[in-house]
Amino acid sequence: MKKNTISYLLIVVGGAVAIYANAEEQQNTLILVLGILVLMFGIYRLSSTITSKSEKEDTTTYIEEE
């Protein structure tokens, strides 16, 4: 659970930094890029913990036979 909390925190901090860097009249490109990198790293960490769908065979068919 702690890993997900850190990932969410990275996403929020990265997004906030990117918005802050973009909101100024004279944009600081370095801060904007660093904010986006932190945001993407948080998304990567979070997506690595999400499991894929189970590979259980689905026997339900939606095609009606005549």
What tens digit of pLDDT does each residue of 7-63 get? 899 999 999 988 888 887 787 888 888 989 999 999 999 888 877 776 666 566 667
Q: Which residues constitute the domain of residue 44?
A: 2-49
47 phi, psi to nearest 5 deg? -70, -25
Q: Are 49 and 4 in contact (CB under 8 A)?
A: yes
Alpha-carbon distance of 20 to 35, in angstroms, equals 9
State the pTM of this model. 0.67
In a domain, 63, yes or no: no
Token readout for 17 is 């930094």
Q: H/E element holding 53?
A: none
In a domain, 45, yes or no: yes
Count of domains for the chain: 1
**Whether residue 64 has pLDDT greater than 60:** yes
Strand segments, DSSP code E, in the chain are none
